[in-house]
A and B are shown apart, each in its own frame.
Chain A
Amino acid sequence: MGFLEYLVRNNQQILLLLRQHLELTFLSVGISVALAVPLGLAATRVRTLERVMTGVANVWQAVPSIAILALMVPILGIGFAPALVALTLRSFLPIYLNCYVGVRSVDPAVVDAARGLGLDEGNILLRVEVPLAAPVIAAGIRTAAVQNVAIATLAAFIGAGGLGNLIVQGLALMDTARLLAGAVPTALLAVGMEILGAWGEKVFTPKGLRVRTS
């Protein structure tokens, strides 16, 4: 277990890399939420937007993450900012898709009932559709966050720091302790994010819907 010793001896450096990693992940997911949720909601109302986004989504899903990161270099150079842009671009789609699909799959009878109660369109969206779609929207954010923990590792290749740095250095020096000191915390971070996301999904499920999902 040479890597545990490495972790302890270099704890300051590792904490710094962990902070960079988390900053990159949370900042990119935060920006994506701020952009993708409104766009997803708009797409449920505007047919043209929906069609354009579906086309873009089909292609974008297939583009490899490392390609998106690499493409940032000729445009924005290396460092934190280009990595942040790449991660934001990557996490945008799962959040958008889940937001759109979530609202779209709300039972039309419920929307009708809300209309019958005299709610206007804005209130139907914000007080009926969004709360009912919240678990699906949260699932999209969870997917994006777990995925971005992984892509933030690759961001080390374009000089953005993060725990990937240790893996890259470990590979270059063939230093197994350093390699695992980067890899094991990264793996745990991703699994932790998945668990946090599952908890978040539960929290965002409206009380009335919790009976069915256990």
Chain B
Amino acid sequence: MIMRFIIPSLGTVIELTWQHVRIVTAAVLLAVLVGVPLGILIHRARFLAVPILSGAGVLYTIPSLALFAILIPIMGLGMKPAVTALVLYSLLVIIRNTAAGLHNVPPEVIDAARGMGMSSLQQLWYVELPLALPVILAGIRVATVMNVGIAAVAVYIGAGGLGELIFRGLASLNMGSLLTGTVAVTALALMADLGLARVEAALRR
């Protein structure tokens, strides 16, 4: 087997990294917008917990490549199906952690808030959500790190990003491209992990 070793230019790497970051950020933000309200919902209406968590659980279980493939006939190629798939994957972690975070708020605190005359919505916004924030953020961190990895596969459905270097390397047996992509994706995942862990630690204090 002949392996070539051509390292892609720094400009290309930066551009693809930026694409990668954009896909992941968009997906995580959308997942938060959908997942946090669903987490609040199953915390307040317990009977919905089993159906919602099971649904999110099935989505989470489907292999990423298969989910991408299933989305293509529906949404075509490009960034849209990629972001959709990443959002669907992130839902379980975000819903579960939101509900867990709210569940862990001490009942005395909620009683005190009620005693101060806060409405149900005020309790949620001023008391419960701030106290649940570290746990919610832990879910966001897990989802982000996971999405950095899955987004590397999303290149296969034409979403761009660092996966392009990996797959280009695999297709043409260009080890320089393959290694650059691999190292960049890994570094991005580790940075997201460490960065969000810092934020989480700061919030817990």
Contact B167 A67 (CB under 8 A): no
Residues of B within 8 A of A (CB): 1, 3, 57-58, 61-67, 69-70, 72-73, 145, 148-150, 152-153, 156-157, 163, 166-167, 169-170, 173, 175, 178-179, 181-182, 185-186, 189-190, 192-193
For A190, what are the chain B residues with a Cβ–Cβ distance below 8 Å? 61-63, 66
Q: How far is the CA of A171 from the CA of B61 in the complex (A)?
A: 22
For B152, what are the chain A residues with a Cβ–Cβ distance below 8 Å? 64, 66-67
Which one of A67, A164, A184 lies within 8 Å of B149 (CB-CB)?
A: A67
Question: In chain A between 181 and 204, which residues have their CB closer than 8 angstroms to a CB of chain B?
Answer: 182-184, 186-187, 190-191, 194
Contact A64 B148 (CB under 8 A): yes
Contact A164 B3 (CB under 8 A): no
Is A63 interfacial (CB 8 A cutoff)? yes
Q: How far is the CA of A184 from the CA of B68 in the complex (A)?
A: 11
Q: Count contacts on A: residues with CB < 8 A to the other chain.
A: 39
Is A146 interfacial (CB 8 A cutoff)? yes
Q: A73-B178, A74-B3, A171-B157 are in contact. Are A67 and B65 (CB under 8 A)?
A: no
The stretch among A46-54, A103-111, A124-132, A147-155 that forms the contact with chain B is: A147-155
Interface of B is mostly: helix
Contact A187 B67 (CB under 8 A): yes
Instruction: Give the Cβ gap from A168 to chain B, nearest Cβ, in Å.
Output: 8
Q: How far is the CA of A187 from the CA of B85 in the complex (A)?
A: 14
Residues of A within 8 A of B (CB): 59, 61-67, 70-71, 73-74, 77-78, 146, 149-151, 153-154, 156-158, 164, 167-168, 170-171, 176, 179-180, 182-184, 186-187, 190-191, 194
Interface contacts beyond A74-B3, A179-B72: sample of 11 additional A-B pairs, CB < 8 Å, sorted by A: A62-B192, A62-B193, A63-B186, A64-B185, A70-B170, A154-B65, A168-B156, A171-B69, A184-B66, A186-B65, A191-B61
Q: Nearest chain-A residue to B166 (Cβ)? A: A70
